[in-house]
Structure 1
Amino acid sequence: MRVTRVLAVVLATGAVLSVAVAPASADLPGVRATYETASNYDDEEGGDADADDPAIWVNPARPGASVVLGTLKNGGLTVVDLKGRQLQHIATPDGGRFNNVDIVVGARIGGRKLDLAVVSDRGLDRLRIYAIDPRGAAAGAHVLTDITTATPPRVFSATEEEIEEQRTAYGVAVRPDPAGGAPWVVASRRHETRVGLFRLAADGTGRITYRAVDSVDLPATFAVDGGTWTPCAEPGERPQVEGMVVDGDVVYAAQEDVGIWRIPLRSGLGRPELVQRVREFGRPAVYDEATEECVFTGPESPSAGKHLSADAEGLTVAHTRFGKVLLASSQGDSTFAAFTPTRAGLAYRAGFTVADGVVDGVQHSDGAAVTTKPLGPDFPHGLLVVHDGENTPSDRADTNFKLVRWERVESVIR
């Protein structure tokens, strides 16, 4: 739920005055994408395809044959080459809705060593597991093979009937096992604050299942400015997490209307710590049923953050020449923020936009993925892939993914 992009000033009479606010992106440098994927149309003719979250698989033998995966919600899963051209399309199971995707390489499960893609199916509250062909783009329409167990367990719902409420598997991030065993999967629950930990396992038939290991519930109400504050949302919804990334023994989780949490991750989930807040943190707002949006009813809070506008979305970690950098999508103002992870939290480095160039720029981005490994002549220093929530020009609901040379990003955040 995005808060409307207005400043609401409470007058002495109790009335609410709304005035336009200049976007933060106006003061930030822009980088330009080199390629983009095809349009995805969120209508019946387009198969209700709505791009959301990307992941990058790096081909160690032929980096130029690396591939990008992208979830398309009801439209399934797409696999593209480094020019954004589709190689493979995977439809959802009946009733499925693919939300997020992450990749793990060299996973040892059931006596095999595999590179895997893990997808959250929020429509059915399951995880889907795909083996990645080591040929990468050279495998053409056979890059991914579904190796999910025949009867995958529900991720969060207690019954099949409960799935109809769609408080289901949402965000997803994968952690390789430090001891060389089966990977761990972190999944968030839609419209709830819960983050769960799961572990992949062989099912005895050559396919892969998973089991629940641990969970943690983030707060839904916060002590702010001498009182309490609950993020505004549609009635019955709680402040959910979607964007997540694993960095060693830590998972960073973006609670959309709150900020970024750092959660210790070993054989279980540790105590969460809020390390970055959105600009709207602590600001009173009410839900307007007529517009189906939240409207501010009070001033900004002194406790608010400075670098992210709700929703806080896609998170990804770049391993650069000057250390690790966490990139976060600031969906509310269509910008990206770069942070240096420190013991104290996240130190802000810089912000940027993906601006119009050879292809159009990026607005209201959800997911993001990055690698700083060389990927051939088009991406000699690495690749950043981001979701574009408003692909243009188009007269339909149109989304896709943009492919950006890493050195262009590095030049504005180093």
Structure 2
Amino acid sequence: MATYRSPFTTAALALGTTVLTLLSPTHAGALDQGLPTVTPVSETPALHDDAAGGNSDADDPAIWRDAAHPGRSLVIATAKEGGLRVYDLAARPVQSLPAPRPPAADDAPGRYNNVDLVTGLRLPGGPVDVAVVSDRGTDRLRVYRIDPAAPGGPLTDVTDPAAAPVFSADQAEINEQRTAYGLATWRDRSTGRSYAVVSQRERTRLALVELQPTARGTVTYRKVRAFDLPASFRLPNGTTWSPCAEPGELPQVEGMAVDPATGTLYAGQEDVGIWRLRADLTGRPSLVDKVREFGVPGVYDEETEECTAGTDPGYGGERLSADVEGLTLLQESGGDGYLLASSQGDDTFALYDREVGEDNEYEGGFRVGAASATLDGAEECDGAAVLDAPLGSRYPNGLLVVQDGRETPGTADGEGGTRTATGFKFVDLGEVKEAADL
């Protein structure tokens, strides 16, 4: 969908319904076109979404800090059908783990979408750190123990073989691919239990699942509850609006993050905006910010597989262009910090205050631009991860990792074209803080 610019408006949830009623719009001034630019320090080798590249497509990263040796910390990232990739702080590949093969020839293969971390999960052998991955292809979560001293590589699959699909009743439903999509992990401080919030592809549903270690040393999970975000919205002019999409599709959520200090979940509904709600999926959600395209009518054209947009009524936000993608929390040592969101439609990143009582006020933004002719910036960014902690001499001020959805310079495909390429950019967090005046 094209990018539209319109004024910011506040919102309130209509009780007892899945329709959001918006208050009258107010103009908050012209859009800021002067965002600062930061440049990456390094990038991972390009992944190629073709047969020769193993159908690998970079999506979402997570940063694991080695407390004993911070300079040996790792970046764990999803590559969809290409499985899982592990990189060192120089962006060099350390390990590659395949996604599961399809159970039968006509079934969907494994497809790793999002990844998040749990520290100190209690297994029979003692507490361990794990990476949790949403496998969109099989509608399951997969869990990997992190141990940099392990002989086969730092990640070992400890998923219990009996782990059930998150949303699907059987393989036929799994093959329809309305499956586990976005993912965020969190720990309940009052009970010590660890959870994941999982979103459903092409639906507005979120599921809360509890991670459960078994006596065999594996990890399974159980679904606790589900929650549906709105799919349609009441506009100030009295009309009802839903984002334009293919027939049968609802506005899905992918990027999510949980603030561990407050148990607050931030969920990016791609064509709508950023929601704030309790991570246990109880209570009422509220919109932190909306995409610029919010409220713009559209008609889906089956021939072009695109939406033809109508007139913008002016009910959208000012900071985000659809899709809202990677959400991550910049947690500062003093307890303050920011929510960082990828505004995929205009290749920018937005920062919001972490304090819920401050209504997550917008604090600025930035772009990730090219450092040189061979080290490009981040475009069409899907996932992002940030860690505000020293990571050895390479990143003493912390690290930001962002997905690059259009890796350049391109590689010839041998047929006169260019291979589709993606990757991850590593950015000095100190540069981001200075540029965005945090």
Q: Same fold (TM over 0.5)?
A: yes
Structure-2 separation of matches of 1:277 and 1:345: 14
For 1:104 and 1:111, how far apart are their aligned partners in 2? 16
Out of 328, 338, 354, the residue aligned to residue 316 of structure 1 is 328
Query: Which residue of 1 is the match for residue 106 of structure 2?
Result: none
Report the Cα offset of residue 227 of structure 1. 1.4
* Aligned CA distance change for structure 1 residues 263 and 6 (closer, same or farther; 3 Å): closer
Q: Which residue of 2 aligns with 1:183?
A: 194
Q: Tell me the amino acid that sits aligned with residue 60 of structure 2.
A: D
| Contact 2:123-2:217 within 8 A present in 1 as well | no
Q: Structure 2: which 5+ runs fail to align? A: 6-30, 102-108, 411-417
Report the equivalent of 1:354. 368
Contact 1:316/1:327 (CA < 8 Å) preserved in 2?
yes
Equivalent position of 1:378 in the other structure: 394
Q: Secondary structure at the match of 2:360?
A: strand
Q: Distance in 2 between matches of 1:247 and 1:148?
A: 25
Aligned to 2:2: 4
Identical aligned residues as a percent: 50
In the alignment, structure 1 residue 105 sits paired with structure 2 residue 119: yes
Which structure has greater strand proportion? 1
Letter in structure 1 aligned against 2:44: T
Q: Tell me, what secondary structure is at the counterpart of 2:303?
A: coil
Matches within 5 A, 1:245-284: 245-248=257-260, 249-266=263-280, 268-284=281-297
Please give the alpha-carbon distance, in whole angstroms, between the structure 2 residues aligned to 1:269 and 1:50. 34
Deviation track 1:230-288 (CA, whole Å, cap 9, x = no partner) reads 1111111000000000102111000000000111124x533211111111111111212
SS of equivalent to 2:173: helix
Unmatched tracts of structure 1, length 5 or more: 8-23
Q: CA deviation at 1:203?
A: 2.9
Q: Conserved in 2, the CA contact under 8 Å of 1:88 and 1:140?
A: no
Q: Which of 233, 241, 251 matches 1:222?
A: 233
CA distance in structure 2 between the aligned counterparts of 1:271 and 1:285, rounded to whole angstroms? 28
Q: How does 1:9-408 map to 2 (within 5 A)?
A: 27-94=34-101, 95-110=109-124, 112-133=126-147, 135=148, 142-179=153-190, 181-225=192-236, 226-248=238-260, 249-266=263-280, 268-301=281-314, 303-320=315-332, 323-341=336-354, 342-358=356-372, 359-394=375-410, 395-408=418-431
State the 4+ residue runs in structure 1 displaced beyond 4 angstroms.
138-141
Give the root-mean-square deviation of aligned CA atoms.
1.8
CA distance in 2, matches of 1:30, 1:100: 26
**Contact 1:25–1:352 under 8 Å retained in 2:** no
Query: How far has the Cα of 1:180 moved from its partner?
Result: 5.6
What amino acid maps onto 1:205 in structure 2? R
Q: Against the structure 1 CA distance between its residues 5 and 307, is the aligned structure 2 distance closer, same or farther, given a 3 Å change threshold?
A: closer
- The one-letter amino acid paired with 1:218 is L
Task: Give the SS at the match of 1:343.
Answer: helix
TM-score by length of 2: 0.86
Contact 1:233 1:294 in 2 (8 A): yes
For residues 385 and 196 of structure 2, what CA distance do their matches in structure 1 show? 17
User: Are residues 245 and 6 of structure 1, via their aligned partners in 2, closer, same or farther at CA, if it must alter by over 3 Å?
Assistant: closer
What code does the residue aligned with 1:90 have? L
Q: For 2:122, give the aligned amino acid.
A: R
